[in-house]
C-alpha cells in the first residue's frame, strides 16, 4: 500500500466533497485554489454564481448583495490579495469588463525618471456604487468612482469619476445623458 501524506489526503477529500456538493448545490468548493487560479475560474466558468464565488474568494472584490458578474472579467492588480474594486448592491458587470486597479510600467526604466511615477503611476481600488451597470468591454482606471444608478456604455474607458444617475460612453468616457430623463 502506498503512503499518502495528510495534506494530499485532505485535498482529495475536499476535492471529492467539492464534486458531490458541486452537483448537488451547483457550486464547487473553491477554497483550495490559489488567487490566480480562482481568477481564471471566475473569468471562464459557465455558471454565474460560481464566477461570483470565485471572485469573492480571490479577494479582488468587496461587494454588496446581488452583484452580477459576466464572463471574462479581467483584473489588473499590483499584487494578488489587493482589492481591485468595491461594488455596491445590485451592480451589473457585463462580459469583458476590465478593472485596472494598478497602472505602472513594471520593470521599465521609466520608473527611474524623476517625477514620472508621481505623475503617471497610480494604485487605487475602483468604487462602483449601488445599482450601476457597466457595459461590455468597458475599462475602469485606478481610483475612479462610478455613481449610484449610473450606466457605463460598452467599450468606454472611464478615466474620471462618474456622477450619480449619469450615462457615460466613449473614449475617454463622457456624459451623454441622465438615467432619470430616459423615457420622458
pLDDT one-digit tens code per residue, 82-127: 777 899 999 999 988 998 888 877 777 787 788 887 788 888 889 9
- Say which CATH topology domain 61-181 has: UDP N-Acetylglucosamine Acyltransferase; domain 1 (2.160.10)
Nine-digit cell at 65?
448583495
Range list of H helices, 26-77: 35-44, 48-58
| Cβ within 8 Å of residue 28, ≥6 positions away | 18, 19, 21, 22, 50
pLDDT for position 159: 94
Spell out the domain ranges in the chain.
61-181
Q: Which of 36-40, 58-62, 136-140, 178-182 has the lowest mean pLDDT?
A: 36-40
The dihedral through the CA atoms of 114, 120, 126, 127 has a sign that is positive
The predicted pLDDT at position 122 comes to 83
Q: Is the model's pLDDT at 29 over the cut of 60?
A: no
**What single-letter DSSP state applies at residue 162?**
B
What is the average pLDDT value for the chain, to the nearest integer? 78
Q: How confident is the model at residue 27 (pLDDT cuts 50, 70, 90)?
A: very low
Q: Helices marked H in 26-155 — which ranges?
A: 35-44, 48-58, 116-120
Q: What is the largest CA-CA distance in the chain?
A: 76
Residue of 176 and 80 predicted with greater confidence: 176
Closest by CA to 149, choosing from 136, 169, 164, 128, is: 164
DSSP state of 47: S
What nine digits make up the cell of 104? Answer: 505602472
Res. 20: pLDDT tops 60: no
Using the structure block, give the residue that is written with the C-alpha cell 452580477.
68
Amino acid at each position: 500500500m502506498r503512503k499518502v501524506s495528510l495534506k494530499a489526503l485532505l485535498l482529495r477529500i475536499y476535492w471529492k466533497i467539492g464534486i458531490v456538493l458541486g452537483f448537488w448545490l451547483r457550486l464547487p468548493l473553491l477554497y483550495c485554489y490559489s488567487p490566480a487560479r480562482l481568477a481564471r475560474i471566475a473569468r471562464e466558468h459557465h455558471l454565474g454564481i460560481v464566477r461570483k464565488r470565485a471572485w469573492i474568494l480571490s479577494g479582488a472584490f468587496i461587494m454588496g448583495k446581488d452583484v452580477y458578474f459576466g464572463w471574462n472579467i479581467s483584473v489588473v492588480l499590483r499584487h494578488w490579495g489587493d482589492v481591485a474594486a468595491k461594488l455596491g448592491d445590485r451592480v451589473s458587470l457585463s462580459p469583458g469588463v476590465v478593472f485596472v486597479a494598478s497602472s505602472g510600467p513594471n520593470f521599465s526604466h521609466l520608473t527611474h525618471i524623476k517625477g514620472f511615477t508621481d505623475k503617471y503611476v497610480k494604485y487605487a481600488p475602483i468604487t462602483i456604487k449601488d445599482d450601476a451597470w457597466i457595459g461590455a468591454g468597458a475599462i475602469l482606471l485606478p481610483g475612479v468612482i462610478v455613481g449610484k444608478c449610473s450606466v457605463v456604455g460598452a467599450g468606454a474607458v472611464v478615466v474620471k469619476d462618474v456622477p450619480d444617475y449619469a450615462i457615460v460612453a466613449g473614449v475617454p468616457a463622457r456624459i451623454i445623458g441622465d438615467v432619470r430623463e430616459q423615457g420622458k
